[in-house]
Each structure stands twice: as structure tokens, then as C-alpha cells.
Structure 1
Amino acid sequence: MNKSSNIVYYGLAVLSLKGISLIMMPIVTRYLSVSDYGMLNFLVSIASMLSIILSFGLSELLYRFNDFEDKKRQHIFYKACLKIALFSAGICLTTSVFLVDFVMSVLPTQVSTKALSFLFINLGGSVVLSLPLAILRIHGEAKKYMLVAVSQGVLQAICTVLLLELGMGVDGVMLSGAIVVWLLLALLAFRYKTLLLTKLDSENVLTKEHSYYIFSITLASVFSYGLNGAENWFLVSFEGKETLAVYFIATQFALVASIAFEPFRLWWFPQRFNIYKSNQQKAADIPLYGLAYALVIVITMMTVGPYVIDLLLPKAYEVSKNILPWLCVVFFIKTVSELLNLGCYYKNNASAAPVINGISACLAVVLTYVSLKHFDLYTMLYALILVHAIRALLFLRISQSLVSLSYKYKYLILMFALLMAQTLLVSHHNEIAIIFFIVGTFLVLSFTIYQRKQLLLRLRG
């Protein structure tokens, strides 16, 4: 199967897994109060933070160290990673039964005890589920990956609606996720029964190099949470669940941009190291194609998103449309950090990544705290943009010092100029922004059609 077909399948997978949750958003907001919806966002934020720690960066480990000539050794490596994931799942299940009250005592706001228990059950299954999904991506089995994602998205949507109809509220939303993830794991156990039956030999499969890589990835991800999620804790502490709910709506619409970009990310990240080894210029050009794609998505979302919010959601959430453009800017700058950082993950066991993320996370936490304590939500957004810009520059500078790639910086500068122009227009002159968007869309489509063959050849190599 060629690469362009894989990207299409990954696109369908992401659309089902994350897109259905966005379709569910106007439904869920009618079942839950603004406060309950804020609680749901806070629970999701907790899950995001804990999954970073409990997943141990195993998926990234599989991507980086997967060049086995012997298939049996490969299976043994997979089995060793699976044992760690199952250990992590055991911690989650134990916490869901015995330690929920302790976790409740350290949270900055009150949440449902049942919902928190279901969160840990869901989290344990998700940690294990990430491994077979990573293996499917490694072997280019995009169609099978899509089928798993579609199943998860559809089943969870149906289960959520049924439980909300039964009046279970936030508890029902969290329970639906737990049910579906463990059901999928039971089905995948048959698919990977050969792997499960593989015996580990006495030789230590995971080496010190693997351990250092896991540590670096996990530490980098923990720090990254300080840039993407930690603000929820400050929002719920200083502004309350209602403000958090409004912010959550804006983040969900900004997530549409991430979803639309995900097919490229799903294809590029497992392949980038191999592409760099075979063609360094291609490794420099493809990320810029990805950023151009991300820019189109971001400008579309910041221009059209506010109208969709007015159309689909209750009036209580209308403030979200003022937040959305700035979150789109954050997403684009974050994408720059993700795509122009190959050297930081290719050399020195990815040790540069946690340092950069650590510096950025500390800065983000401090500025977020000061912004919300002494100013307002919009000051926090400007602070996040500043921090992400600093992070992107650090990644680019250090990555280039480790692995020098011939990026065409003039195109990157042009992208930022277009992004800021549209952001200011959307914020202050919405009618002009619409005209600018229509003209820009026409030009992009014309260029894409004209250069279609060259772009496909470049991607396929």
C-alpha cells in the first residue's frame, strides 16, 4: 500500500476517533450543565496528565528501536514493552478501587468519585491499547488501524448517548470510555495471540539505551503537559468550572485543527528517521509541506469556527468564539516545534527534548499563574503564545546544531505573516477576514491543483 493511501486511512481513523467526539459535543452540552461540562474537561485533563506518566513513552520506543532483522527478536521486544504496559494498567485498576479517595483529596475542585474511578479504568486500558495501535502504524497497516479507531469512536458514541439518556451524566461519559477500550483490548488479544504467547528469553531485551530513551520521552512529555493542559488546573482554581467549560469548548474546536492535521502526523512521525537516513533534503522539505497544510487548517478554523459555535451550541458558550483564534495560533506554533525538531529526537537519546520542554513548561506555569491571578484569560492566551514561540525557537536551534537540515526559512516567515494577519482580522474585522479567507482558499486550491503531481511525487519519493 502506498504512502498516500495510508494517509487517507489515517485520516479516516482520526475522523472517527476524535471527530465523532466533536460531533457529540453539542449533544453532550445539552445533557450536562455548564459546571458539569467543566468537570468533564477537568477529568479529561487529569487523564491526559496521568497517561503521559503511565504510558512510559512505549509507543515512541517502538518507533525508534524497531529495526530487527529477526522477527522473533522483534516479537520478544514487543512482548517486553507489553509487560510494562500491563504493569501500568494494574496500577490504574488498583487506584480505581483503593486510592480514589486519596486522589480526590489532592484535587483543586470537587469531582464525581464514580467518574474518577471510571477514568482510571479507562486509562489502564488505553495504555495497553496504544501498543497494538503503534505496531499497526509501524508495519504500515493503516487500514486495520482505521478499523480499530472507527470501532472505538462509534461504540463510544453510542454507549455515551445511552448512558446519558439513563441520566448518568458525567459518570456515564467516563464509563462509556472504560467499557469500549477494554472491549477492544479483548478483541485485539485474538489478533495478537502469537505475540502474547511469545516467551521472553533470559537475555535482557530492554537495554540501558532503551531505558534512557523512555526516561527522556516521558520527562519531555510531562514537561509538555505544562504547555498543553496545566492551564486547566489554574483556570478551575481561579475562574471556576464555568470558565473552564467555556475554555474547553474553544479547545475542542481548536482540536479540529489538530484532527485535520493528524493524518500527516500519523504518517510522518514513524517514517521521519528512515527518510532522514535515505534523503536529507526530503527530510527538510516534507515538514514545510506539513506546516503549509497546518496553516490552511488553522486559518480555516479561526475564520469559520466562531460561526459554527453560534450555530451548534447554547448561548452560554458564545465567549468561546473569542478565545478560538488565539488557540489556533498556539496550535500552529506548537506544530512548528513538532515538525522542525528531528535532531533533538535522533541524537543523544532524545535528551534535548526534556530540557527544552522543562524550560518551556516552567515558564508556562509561572506566566499562566500570574496571568490568571492578576489579569484575565486573554492575558494567559498571549502568555501561552509567547512560551510556545520560545519553545519552537529552542527546538529549531538545538535540532539544527545536532542534525543540520536545509530548511527554506523564507516560506516559514511567510506562513507566520499570513497567520498573524488573519488572526488580527478575525479578532477585529471579521467581514474583511471572510473576504481574505475566500480569496486565500481560491489561491491555495489553484496552486494545489497546479502542483498536484509534483507534490505527490515528492511525498512518495
Structure 2
Amino acid sequence: MSAIKQSLYYGVGIVMMKGVSLLMMPYVTGQLATKEYGSLEALILLADIGTILVGFGLIDAMYRFVGSNEGEYRQLLIANCFSLSLIAAVVGGVIVWFLMPWLLLYVPAQVKAYQIALIVLPTLLDGLIAIPLTLMRMQSLAKRFCIFNVIKAIVQALLIVVLLENGFGIDAVLIAGAVSSVFMLVFLLKFQWQQMGRLGYLGYSLPLLKFGAPIVVSGIGMFAVTGLDKWILADKVNVEALAVYAISAKFALILSLLMQPFCLWWFPNRIQILQQDNGSQQCAEKAILGCNLVIFLAFSMLLTVPSFIYLFLPSDYYLAAKVSVALILVNTIKNISELMNLGCFSGESSQKQMWIQCLCAVIAVVGYYFLIPLYGVWAAVAVLGSVYSMRLVLLYCVSQSLEPLPYKHACWIKTLFICSVAYLLHSTASAMFSTGMILILGSAISVFTLVLLVYLNTFPNLYSQLKDKFTSLNLRLFTYLRKV
């Protein structure tokens, strides 16, 4: 299956897997009060940190070790990863049980024990679900990946609607997430068993954990950067401020969501490509292509997201239209830093990335603690932007020192310049139109800019490629008919 076709399948699958909350946001915010939505986000913070801990960094370890091996050794590695993930889920459940009184006391919102249990269940299962889904990506089973995620998303969305309509409030979202995750795991178990053939093998745990442990520490550090801001907002300001900030963050997250078709194909394969002839050149080109894509998608969102919020969300969330613009720019920096960070994953350890993440976490924690009580939401945005900018510079320098790649930076600078000029033109013209027309105008300018970037060879011309393939197919068919 071609990379383009795989990306399309991944695009559908990831939009359905991660995009349910985004696609249903106008409906859910209309059904829940601002305070209820803030309480829901406080619970989701628990899930975020739990996912990092339960994951054990095993997905990145699989990219590093499983992808480059075959045969029985590969099966044993897969069995080892799944067994470790199962142990982590069981131990995590026991720990949450004992910590329940403490969680009820310190979660920055009024929640109940069963609500924490409902958010913890899919979190514990997430590590088990992620392993077979990752194997599908590593084996280019994009269609199967897509089907599983579409089914899960449909079940989850239908449950949310039914339960919200019957007055379940935030419990509707929690129950839907738990039920859909259980069903997903059950359906994936057959495929997982085919890949490993046994359960309980732990012989390669040491190298897997040695590689994954720094990634877990890095993840905890990044939670301090991208999760503690919400925690302090809820605790030091109020859950209403958290709700507005969380909505803005979800819209900014659309950028990462739109990048997933590319990243889901690229990240599992980059180490293998690096080891090929001319691998450094190929990796540099793919990373720059990803950066151009991030810049264009961010530009398109800046033209459309604010007017969308004004049109479709309740007036309590209008501040999110302004905050989302800043967070989209921050998320652009975040995505570029990940695309240009191949070097930290090319060796046997990821410790240097861990130290960078920890440094960023310390600076973020200090900034959040002192500034959010004084300046609220905008302090969180300023600290987040500063930390991610520093992280981009450090990761790029360290990655290049470990695995120098011949990046052509002029390419993404050209894309940034074109998008900036188009954004300024849109901002000037917006004063003359209504909100609905601004949304339409932004969409039109985005399409025009995309055509221009394709013309300038910034992006591949998919139309020409498909046309050439169609012409070749017709020629072969004509030749075959003449022979008949």
C-alpha cells in the first residue's frame, strides 16, 4: 500500500479515534454548564498523567527494537511489551484503589469516587490497546487500523449522545469512554495473540525498560508543561477559567490531529529509513515536508477557528476564540520540535531528551505557580509558549549533534513567509465582513494558499501523480485489449 493511501486511512482512523471529543464539542458544551465542563477536564488531567505512567514508554521502545527485527525474536519482544503493559495496568489499578481518598481530596474539582474509577479504567487499558494498534502501523495495516478506530469512535459517540439526552451529565462522557475502550481491547486481542503467540514472557524487559524509562520521565516532565497549567487554573482561579482554557487547548489540538496521518506513517518508519542508503537525506526531506505541513495547517486554523467558536459555541466560551490563536501558534512550535528530533531516538537510550524535558518542566512549574494566580489564562499561554520555544532549540541542537541531518531550512521559511502574508491580508479584509463571511473567506484563502504552495513544489502534486497512474493504467489496459 502506498504512503499516500496509508496516510488517508490513518487520517480517517485518527480523526475518529482522537477526534470524537473535538467533533462533538459544540454539542457537549451546549449540554453541560461551564462548571461541569471544567470538572470533566479536571478528571481528564488524571487520565493524561496515568497514560504516561501506564505506557512505560513501550511504544517508543517498540519503534526502536521491534521494527528492526524479525522472526521469533520479534515475537518475543512483542510478547514482552504486552506483558509489561498488562502488569502496569494491574499495578496501576491497585495503586489508584489505595490512593482514592487522596485523589478525592486533591483533584481541583468536586468529583466522586466512581467518576475517578470511570476515567481510570480506559486509562489503564490504553497501554494494552496501543500495542496492537502500533503493530498495525508498523506492518502498514492502515485499513485495519482505520476500521478498528472508526468502530470505537461510533460506539463512543452514540453512547455520549444517548446518555447526555437522558441527563447523565459528565458521567455520559466517562461511561462512553470506558465502555468503548473495553470493546476495543476485546476486539484487538485476537490480532495481538497472532503477533506474539504467548503471554508472560519478560526476558527482554531490561533493554525495553532502559529505553522506555527516560521517555516516561520525559512524559511526566511534559505533563508538568501541558497539564499542570490546567490544574493550577482550576485550583487558583476557578473551574470556569479551566473550561475556557481547555476548549482553546482542544481547538489547538486539532493541529496535532491533522498531522497524525503524516506522523502515524513517518514516526514508526523513520529509524528504518535512516538505516537505508541515503537515509539521512530522506529523513531530512521528510522532516521538512512535515514542518511545511504544520505551518500550512496552523495558518489555515488561524483563519477559521476563531470565527467557528463565535458561530457555534455558547457565549461563555468567546474568550477561547482569542486564546486558541495563541495556543495554535504554541502547538505549531511543539509539532516542529518533534519532527526535527530524530537524533534522540536513533541510539540505545533517550536520556538526553529526558533531561531537556525535565528542564522545561521545572521552568514551566515555576512560571505557572507564580504567574497564573496573577494573570490567569494568559499567563499559562505565555509560559507554555516560552517553554516550547526553548524546547525546540534544545531538541534541535541535541538531535543534530547525535544524528546530523542535511535540513533545507529555506523551504519552511518560504512557506512561513507566504502564509504570514496571506494571514495579514485576511486580517485586513476581515473588518469588512460578518463572522460567517470571515469563516468562508478564511477557508477560501487557505485553499488558494495551498494551490500556490503546490505550484511552488512545497507539497507534492497529488493530482499529477494520480493522473500519471491513471494514464499508465489505461495504457496497460489498452495494450491488453489489443492482445486479446
Do both proteins adopt the same fold according to a TM-score greater than 0.5, normalized to the shorter chain? yes
Among candidates 443, 452, 459, match of residue 446 of structure 1? 452
| Displacement after TM superposition at 1:151 (Å) | 1.1
Instruction: Name the SS of the counterpart of 1:192 in structure 2.
Output: helix
| Displacement after TM superposition at 1:196 (Å) | 6.2
Match of 2:203 in 1: 204
Contact 1:136 1:145 in 2 (8 A): yes
Match of 1:266 in 2: 264
Match of 1:43 in 2: 43
Give the residue type in structure 2 aligned to 1:165: E
Deviations 1:231-254 (A, max 9, x none): 101111122110111111111111
Match of 1:236 in 2: 234
| Displacement after TM superposition at 1:204 (Å) | 2.2
Identity %: 27
Change (3 A) 1:149 1:314: same
| Displacement after TM superposition at 1:71 (Å) | 2.2
Change (3 A) 1:355 1:423: farther
Change (3 A) 1:148 1:175: same
2: CA distance between counterparts of 1:318 and 1:242?
13
Contact 2:300 2:446 in 1 (8 A): no
Give the residue type in structure 2 aligned to 1:147: I
Match of 2:215 in 1: 217
| Displacement after TM superposition at 1:10 (Å) | 0.4
Match of 2:474 in 1: none
Give the residue type in structure 2 aligned to 1:350: S
2: CA distance between counterparts of 1:49 and 1:275?
32
Change (3 A) 1:404 1:453: closer
Contact 1:294 1:332 in 2 (8 A): yes
Pair 1:31-2:31 in alignment: yes
1: CA distance between counterparts of 2:118 and 2:100?
10
| Displacement after TM superposition at 1:372 (Å) | 1.0
**TM-score computed with the length of structure 1 as normaliser:** 0.91
Contact 1:325 1:427 in 2 (8 A): no
| Displacement after TM superposition at 1:362 (Å) | 1.1
| Displacement after TM superposition at 1:54 (Å) | 1.3
Match of 1:380 in 2: 380
Contact 1:38 1:241 in 2 (8 A): yes
1: CA distance between counterparts of 2:397 and 2:111?
42
2: CA distance between counterparts of 1:426 and 1:91?
53
Give the residue type in structure 2 aligned to 1:318: Y
Match of 2:397 in 1: 397
| Displacement after TM superposition at 1:200 (Å) | 5.8
**TM-score computed with the length of structure 2 as normaliser:** 0.87
Match of 1:83 in 2: 83
1: CA distance between counterparts of 2:366 and 2:229?
10
Give the residue type in structure 2 aligned to 1:126: D
For 1:340-419, list aligned pairs within 5 A: 340-415=340-415
| Displacement after TM superposition at 1:369 (Å) | 2.1
Give the residue type in structure 1 aligned to 2:216: T
Instruction: Name the SS of the counterpart of 2:66 in structure 1.
Output: coil
Deviations 1:106-163 (A, max 9, x none): 3233223221110111111112111111111111111111111101111100111122
1: CA distance between counterparts of 2:158 and 2:119?
18
Give the residue type in structure 2 aligned to 1:332: T
For 1:134-149, list aligned pairs within 5 A: 134-149=134-149
Deviations 1:187-226 (A, max 9, x none): 222333335642666x82233x322211111111111112
Pair 1:153-2:153 in alignment: yes
Change (3 A) 1:418 1:247: farther
2: CA distance between counterparts of 1:54 and 1:110?
25
Deviations 1:233-287 (A, max 9, x none): 1111122110111111111111221111111111110011111222211111111
2: CA distance between counterparts of 1:425 and 1:243?
32
Instruction: Name the SS of the counterpart of 1:405 in structure 2.
Output: coil
Change (3 A) 1:440 1:124: closer
Change (3 A) 1:449 1:39: same
Match of 1:297 in 2: 297
2: CA distance between counterparts of 1:178 and 1:301?
31
| Displacement after TM superposition at 1:427 (Å) | 8.1
Contact 2:13 2:150 in 1 (8 A): yes
Give the residue type in structure 1 aligned to 2:81: C
1: CA distance between counterparts of 2:418 and 2:370?
30
Match of 2:225 in 1: 227
Give the residue type in structure 2 aligned to 1:248: A
1: CA distance between counterparts of 2:199 and 2:180?
29
438-447 vs 8-17, which moves further: 438-447
Give the residue type in structure 2 aligned to 1:206: S
Instruction: Name the SS of the counterpart of 1:244 in structure 2.
Output: helix
Change (3 A) 1:322 1:70: closer
| Displacement after TM superposition at 1:95 (Å) | 4.8
2: CA distance between counterparts of 1:77 and 1:47?
27
Change (3 A) 1:418 1:250: farther
1: CA distance between counterparts of 2:84 and 2:373?
40
2: CA distance between counterparts of 1:437 and 1:33?
31
Match of 2:469 in 1: none
| Displacement after TM superposition at 1:453 (Å) | 9.2
Give the residue type in structure 2 aligned to 1:446: L
2: CA distance between counterparts of 1:432 and 1:247?
29
273-282 vs 430-439, which moves further: 430-439
For 1:184-199, list aligned pairs within 5 A: 184-195=184-195, 197-198=197-198
Contact 1:344 1:399 in 2 (8 A): yes
Pair 1:257-2:263 in alignment: no
24-33 vs 412-421, which moves further: 412-421
The alignment of Structure 1 onto Structure 2 pairs a total of residues equal to: 456
Contact 1:9 1:143 in 2 (8 A): yes
Larger-Rg structure: 2
Change (3 A) 1:455 1:368: farther
Match of 2:312 in 1: 312
Contact 2:58 2:209 in 1 (8 A): no
2: CA distance between counterparts of 1:432 and 1:353?
48
2: CA distance between counterparts of 1:373 and 1:442?
43
Contact 1:21 1:153 in 2 (8 A): no
| Displacement after TM superposition at 1:53 (Å) | 1.0
| Displacement after TM superposition at 1:288 (Å) | 1.0
Change (3 A) 1:87 1:106: same
2: CA distance between counterparts of 1:291 and 1:25?
28
Give the residue type in structure 2 aligned to 1:347: G
Instruction: Name the SS of the counterpart of 2:24 in structure 1.
Output: helix
Contact 2:287 2:339 in 1 (8 A): yes
Change (3 A) 1:115 1:402: same
Change (3 A) 1:107 1:90: same
Contact 2:295 2:415 in 1 (8 A): yes
